[in-house]
């Protein structure tokens, strides 16, 4: 774990002093890319998912392993969850669970079984439903593979928020305790209150109560770790917006206050999209962090 400077108390949150336009910009990740225009960043991100998935499924050496990349939600009483185009920053990336498979070949090549989880994004699903679907999916994996050597959850952006919510899950409700050994939270949002005041809320329809109930930032310090050895890694890109960076730092601090085994990492010279796109590269810093954590 690295020391992260304090950024003040909750009542002094910088976003509360921002204009509506600046707040909107802070929670629009494509506005902060430095290599291309915002619209190009989104198009490139989606195209990498589409092309990468095609290459992955067509590779003879990985077809067998690809069968382990399972749309889990289909196995827990839900139809396949295919996201549609909606708001940019939260629970609205136009990347379905199948297209997200572009990043897993480096992991499966090392013998890691990878599961891609889908969920109903807004307006089809409420945030509470999304959290429930992901929770059920994690419980399903544990029931299907009760002798697993460890489950590691990884989420990016909106996925990082949903992954962080798994730290708060009441697993007794599902009759199983997943063997969670590690979390990789990439460029996430952990306090949803600012989202209420951005265009991202046009389809989410979050009330302040909804946002607070689904903000791990507010709750994780009050939650006892089920496994003190479970490592929660909060990771953000150097070129993520200042608000995304602040949220990551403050969430790391909350984890430390709650007694979690946590670490914080700011990855050099990557933006909100590159941080996940680079997982196709075996020598990428984040890829190596994930592999070393799993095989340590």
Which residues, at least 6 apart from 149, have a Cβ–Cβ distance to it below 8 Å?
Answer: 179
Q: Measured between alpha carbons, how far is 182 from 294 in angstroms, rounded to an integer?
A: 8
Burial of 5 (0-12, 13-18, 19+ CB in 10 A): exposed
CA distance readout (Å), 71 to 116, 119, 178, 193, 214: 5, 10, 18, 30, 24
Burial of 224 (0-12, 13-18, 19+ CB in 10 A): exposed
Q: Measured between alpha carbons, how far is 187 from 185 in angstroms, rounded to an integer?
A: 7
Beta strand extents in 20-171 (DSSP E only): 70-71, 115-116, 151-156
Residue recorded with tokens 């029931």: 143
Asked, as a colleague might, if the bond just before 195 is cis with ω within 30 of 0, I would say no
Residues catalogued as catalytic: 157, 240, 272
By DSSP bridging, strand 261-267 and strand 231-237 are parallel
Residue recorded with tokens 């679907």: 133
Q: Which two tokens stand for residue 116?
A: 């891609």
């Amino acid at each position: 774990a690295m020391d992260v400077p304090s950024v003040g108390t909750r009542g002094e949150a910088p976003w509360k002093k921002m204009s509506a336009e600046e707040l909107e910009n802070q929670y629009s990740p494509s506005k902060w890319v430095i290599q291309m225009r915002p619209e190009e960043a989104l198009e490139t991100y989606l195209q990498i998912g589409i092309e990468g998935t095609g290459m992955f499924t067509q590779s003879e050496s990985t077809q067998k392993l690809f069968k382990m990349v399972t749309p889990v939600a289909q196995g827990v009483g839900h139809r396949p969850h295919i996201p549609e185009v909606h708001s940019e920053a939260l629970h609205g990336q136009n990347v379905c669970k199948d297209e997200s498979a572009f990043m897993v070949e480096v992991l499966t090549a090392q013998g890691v079984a990878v599961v891609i989880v889908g969920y109903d994004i807004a307006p089809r699903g409420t945030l509470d439903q999304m959290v429930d679907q992901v929770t059920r999916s994690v419980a399903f994996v544990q029931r299907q593979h009760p002798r697993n050597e460890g489950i590691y959850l990884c989420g990016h952006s909106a996925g990082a928020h949903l992954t962080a919510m798994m730290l708060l899950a009441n697993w007794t409700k599902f009759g199983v305790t997943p063997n969670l050994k590690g979390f990789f939270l990439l460029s996430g949002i952990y306090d949803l209150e600012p989202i209420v005041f951005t265009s991202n809320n046009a389809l989410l329809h979050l009330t302040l109560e909804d946002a607070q109930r689904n903000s791990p930032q507010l709750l994780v310090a009050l939650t006892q770790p089920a496994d003190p050895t479970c490592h929660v890694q909060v990771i953000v890109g150097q070129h993520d917006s200042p608000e995304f960076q602040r949220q990551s730092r403050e969430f790391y601090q909350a984890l430390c206050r709650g007694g979690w085994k946590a670490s914080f990492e700011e990855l050099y010279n990557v933006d909100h999209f590159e941080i996940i796109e680079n997982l196709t590269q075996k020598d990428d810093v984040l890829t190596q962090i994930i592999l070393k954590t799993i095989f340590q």
